[in-house]
Structure 1
Amino acid sequence: VRIADDFGCHAIGIQYQQGLKDLVPASDLAEGLLNNVERPPVKSARSGRVLFPGEAVPHFNEVDECAGLDGLVTYRLWRELGFAPENTLHDLRWGQHFKGEGVNDYVWVFLISGAAPPAHFIGGYRGATSERQPPMYFRLGGGSLKGVSKPGHIVWSRVFIMDGKLQCDLGVAEVVKLPEKETERRWRETTPQWPIMHAVLDGISRDQMMARHKANHIQVVYAPNRKQAHRACRIKAAMLAELGVQVNLCGNVQLA
């Protein structure tokens, strides 16, 4: 955060996997906090002033500059729309059809390797915990920022380069609440120390997603309701197109 302030950065990249992860503890706990508007203050080492007060500090890891671009664009646009701007990348892991307690859909496991903003969790900070990172991935430890993502409507996206052009896939999805037993099962079959999101993609099958999606990373941000998710998706698509990004709307995105 101090480096971002010194150099006038609006987003920062944090590289640890296959790099710093063997030299220092993982930084996921700090990363999850930085992506949250309500977070512990960071002060300038020289003047003592609070840096970026009242704002999250959009960032990305694993040298995923496309996620960094998407995160910053989304943060600023959601601020303009008056929506909660916290957004994060997740890993698109796997999925399975689930039927019960009002759900009857193919539910994806979105589970990033360490941290998501507490604003995304059921209960916010009260629903967040930190656990030691698995030694298999991070031999020196470090804490995660773990929680279960709250039910609601999201816009998902992925910025990538194809055919020599910067492109972005965009769509909408619903985050559903699964029974605790099913959540625990999905955690056990993936990585239980990491934050989880139960996502149902609107109008996209499993095979379509696996054939089309260009990375294991997927960017997600909440909207106040389903109608606003579709509206925000359209606005984001228009903004990216104005910036020269080729936009691809995926699945069922309402155009009006």
Structure 2
Amino acid sequence: MSRSKKLKAKQVYILANGDLRLSANRVCWKEQSRVEQVLSKAIQEEGWSVIRAHDFDRKKRHGFIDSQKRGIEVFRELDPDAPLIIAECVWQYSQHILPGLLTHRGPILTLANWSGMWPGLVGMLNLNGSLTKMDISYSTIWSKNFSDSFFRKSLRQWLNEGEISHDQSHVKNITLLSLPISEVKTGRSEARKLLANKAIMGVFDEGCMGMHNAIIPDELLNRTGVFKERLSQSALYAAMREVRDEEAEAV
């Protein structure tokens, strides 16, 4: 049973989902801590106060959620109706927090630093894809220094309205696109062949990096004539060790 305490008006959670690997979390924690301080300042300047959703772990020396078990424990303590910001400066394993996000009723904002050094942006995009796949509503934003006008305006809108309205004028409805007749015929012909003859797709440890978004449901994939053969990376490595150098060099 949830032991959550209701947040007051104009209070918002900041949550940091992390990697499964201790070394990655430790390396990225310094940048995560810096970004959270800058982000908290920006939020406070909008008249809101920040509540960190979970504590820093002194033994592990980082403040990331680093397992699905830990994620479930954290969400048990949170107000399910409160606004929640997921701030990322590290590659993150989405399954750590998807169970909690599935039943969280408050507005969700995914946020990352724009950096060529820290993997927060790609981690956030992994999470975004997973949330979209699970049909969980969220807004998203990123910034290099969290002081630019676009970020501040977007943050203000999310805090006050619970969502961010991005310009989508570049997006086109796929049903309005028209392909050349010859390409349509080729596509349909190949699709019929695939459905009739079937194909096997080898998949190594799907979801192993926390990429829930990359797991294609079998019941959808099978309808196209493609079927998964689930393979193990460890089994591949073990088999590779049995290959003699002469055999490998002859390939």
What TM-score range do you get, normalising by the shorter chain?
Answer: under 0.3
Select the structure that is richer in strand: 1
Based on CA coordinates, which of the two structures has the bigger radius of gyration? 2
TM-score, scaled to structure 1: 0.26
TM-score, scaled to structure 2: 0.26
